[in-house]
Amino acid sequence: MKSQSRRGIRALICLVALLTPILATAQGFFETTPTLESNQGQLVTHSSILFLSQTFQNLEYGTRVDPPSAAAFHRLECSRGASISGNLGEVVWGGGPFPGLTRIGIRMRFRPVPDFVGALKITFFARVPGSTTDVITDTKIVSIGELPPPSMFTPVPNENLGAAPAFNGRLTTTFAQQTTFEVEVTGPTNKLITVPATNTGTNFTHYIPLDAGLQPGNYSWRVRSIDARGRKGTWSNPVANVIYGGIDMAGFGSQTFFNTLRAAGWASFFQAAWGGRNIWPDAAGNLIRANNAGYKVAAYAFLNFDNGSTIAGAPANQTGAWQVDQGLRAIGYVNNKASLPYDLKYFMIDLENRFQGTMAPQDRVQRIAEAVQRVRNLGFWPMIYTRNEGFNQWWNDYTGSSADFREMYLWDSKPETATAVYKDHLLLNVGVPWVRYGGWEDRGGKQYLLDVSIAGGRVDFNVWNPAVWNVQSPNPGSINITPANVTVVREADNSYKATVTLRNTGNVEAYAIRLGDATLGTQSDLGRQTLGMITPNGSRAGNYTFPSNTGAPGTSAFLQFTVWTGNGPQNHGVWVNLP
């Protein structure tokens, strides 16, 4: 008796288990076995059993496809009833009466059109004849083929990028659908990024957060598409980029601020030291904290050209050298670079659209040259920061399009919006190639975001060529520019060409060397001409042109000329024979 009781209890438990889903769905349910993955254009079978939990006098049942236009072939075979209607989007069978606990087997034969790829919805349904509302449904998502990788617009291959680049692309399919994407970034920082679902045919963008960026180095990345069911497509071919991001600021930054952004990948730091009127009070402390956080550090002076500083002891003529000295004083420099507790890579000269005064362009160039040469003489690398695009032609407007500083690095400013996907590309401005100016063939860095509040500080963001920062500050020294040779030749039109060769016998680079006004006999050649940088023991030559009435062939004439250096003008004179 006990054994029979146990068997009876077990049978009751099994019956309850069988009836539970039926009781939970008052009218019935489908138990579907779909073919979850298939190839494009492949004929497949999806099977289901319709369990009815109540009596239906008449019932329609079948399958539908979403989107309907994806179907090339759609047929049903059912264990009960007969075919009622059918098209590629929906096939309907029907019959009755069906008592409760009836089971109906449904076998769906389906082939998609050849160009369909991605996720497809198939729905098994049952409804009362004459109604448009399903009483029992079961929808499955199946994957047909593998979605191809999207077309990627950014990052541009082989570009230098900041620490937080944007990934922007688009997947276009014949049949619109929602797709997610995975971006795999490999390098000093590895990331696997999932981009939220986006409709095909529309652009998607993922911005790496500024406070969770990539450490400097060489990177490759690839991307793949994932359909709505989760089937992953093939990876795209890898794309290579170089990452090097930096920050700059004028105001206060705490140690936590510097630590946070350094951990986020930003590796170099420029501190404002001189603002054209006064020093920046946070300069010394910020540089120490940045160095402690592991940044490569540098500072800059915002030059005035109107002699407008009123600090104690300010001279009437506030030369470039004097302004550099104020900036160095602000960061704690005393007598020599050993007074600084870090290696200051650069001391940059900043030219903007303020404090320009009424100086002539050639005099502004001289003030910049004074600042640049002072920086180099004291044992730091000089650099130029400015802007020259659109309505902000700072460099061309204020220096007369000078090319005198072309051998040193240019830090160019082109602020863009935070949502601009090309903003951190070193070779691009607003998605198009950077327009050269000032004799620079390329730029060492680009400032692309301004005044961003982050991690408790207010900061600008930059992209750099890593070579800019792969340096040690140089030894201090001095320049000595002397005329090495002067020759005069008669041209075919009987004018005279005087060639002056200058040599630098000093032990540091002489920047922005220019030849100034010259007189030969009673004739003059006025203006300043660019020679550029002369390395230690190096030389460069420039030419003057004088008319034929300068003097008779075979006579002597006195050539007077001016050489402009960052240490000031030098006047020279020499007797020459007129050929």
Residue 474 lies in a domain: no
Three-class secondary structure of residue 471 per DSSP: coil
Nearest in space to 215 (alpha carbons), one of 241, 240, 244, 239: 244
Look at residue 457 and tell me whether its pLDDT is greater than 80.
Answer: yes
17: pLDDT confidence band, cut at 50, 70 and 90? very low
Q: Is the peptide bond before 536 cis (omega within 30 degrees of 0)?
A: no
19: pLDDT confidence band, cut at 50, 70 and 90? very low
φ, ψ for residue 21, nearest 5 deg: -65, -30
Nearest in space to 119 (alpha carbons), one of 200, 206, 222: 200
Structural domain range at position 230:
151-243
Q: Which residues contact 4 (CB under 8 A, 6 or more apart)?
A: none
pLDDT at 20: 41
Look at residue 16 and tell me whether its pLDDT is greater than 70.
Answer: no
| Cβ neighbour number for residue 576 with a 10 Å cutoff | 17
Look at residue 218 and tell me whether its pLDDT is greater than 70.
Answer: yes
| Cβ neighbour number for residue 81 with a 10 Å cutoff | 20
pLDDT at 501: 99
Residue 5 lies in a domain: no
Look at residue 13 and tell me whether its pLDDT is greater than 90.
Answer: no
11: pLDDT confidence band, cut at 50, 70 and 90? very low
How many domains does the structure of the chain reveal? Answer: 4
Specify whether 95 is located in the same domain as 177: no
The residue among 468, 498, 528 that closes a domain is 468
| Cβ neighbour number for residue 351 with a 10 Å cutoff | 25
Specify whether 503 is located in the same domain as 464: no
Residue 14 lies in a domain: no
Query: What is the arithmetic mean of pLDDT over 95-122?
Result: 98
pLDDT at 23: 39
Find tokens 């004459």 and name the residue. Answer: 130
> What's 443's DSSP letter?
-
Look at residue 243 and tell me whether its pLDDT is greater than 50.
Answer: yes
Residue 79: give its domain's CATH number: 2.60.40.10
Residue 204 lies in a domain: yes
Specify whether 464 is located in the same domain as 518: no
401-446 pLDDT per residue, tens: 999 999 999 999 999 999 999 999 999 999 999 999 999 999 999 9
Specify whether 133 is located in the same domain as 155: no
Look at residue 202 and tell me whether its pLDDT is greater than 50.
Answer: yes
Specify whether 422 is located in the same domain as 454: yes
Relative to beta strand 90-95, strand 103-112 is unpaired
Specify whether 205 is located in the same domain as 270: no
> What's 362's DSSP letter?
H
Query: What is the arithmetic mean of pLDDT over 494-518?
Result: 98
Look at residue 25 and tell me whether its pLDDT is greater than 60.
Answer: no
Specify whether 431 is located in the same domain as 515: no
Identify the bridge partners of residue 220 per DSSP, sorted by sequence position.
Answer: 186, 240
Residue 420: give its domain's CATH number: 3.20.20.80
Laid out side by side, the sheet with 481-490 consists of 481-490, 496-504, 539-546
CA 304 to the chain's CA centroid: 32
The residue among 90, 125, 144 that closes a domain is 144
Residues of the chain with pLDDT > 90, as a percent, come to: 95
Length of the chain: 579
Find tokens 């590895």 and name the residue. Answer: 190
Alpha carbon distance 504, 539 (integer Å): 6
Specify whether 131 is located in the same domain as 91: yes
C-alpha distances in Å from residue 520, one per residue of 394, 517, 540, 570, 577: 36, 10, 21, 17, 11
Specify whether 42 is located in the same domain as 166: no
266-315 pLDDT per residue, tens: 999 999 999 999 999 999 999 999 999 999 999 999 999 999 999 999 99
327-377 pLDDT per residue, tens: 999 999 999 999 999 999 999 999 999 999 999 999 999 999 999 999 999
Residue 7 lies in a domain: no
Alpha carbon distance 260, 241 (integer Å): 24
Q: Name the average pLDDT for the chain.
A: 95
CA 252 to the chain's CA centroid: 26
The residue among 101, 117, 144 that closes a domain is 144
Residue 20 lies in a domain: no
62-95 pLDDT per residue, tens: 999 999 999 999 999 999 999 999 999 999 999 9
For 52-65, b where at least 16 C-beta lie within 10 A, e where not — what string? bbeebeebbbbbbb
The letter for the amino acid at 297 is V
Three-class secondary structure of residue 320 per DSSP: helix
7: pLDDT confidence band, cut at 50, 70 and 90? low
Alpha carbon distance 445, 427 (integer Å): 10
Look at residue 447 and tell me whether its pLDDT is greater than 90.
Answer: yes
Alpha carbon distance 305, 354 (integer Å): 9
pLDDT at 22: 38
Residue 338 lies in a domain: yes
Specify whether 125 is located in the same domain as 68: yes
Alpha carbon distance 576, 579 (integer Å): 9
Alpha carbon distance 149, 359 (integer Å): 57
pLDDT at 26: 74
Look at residue 124 and tell me whether its pLDDT is greater than 80.
Answer: yes
Residue 267 lies in a domain: yes
Three-class secondary structure of residue 161 per DSSP: strand
pLDDT at 12: 44
pLDDT at 221: 98
Specify whether 159 is located in the same domain as 213: yes
Specify whether 493 is located in the same domain as 364: no
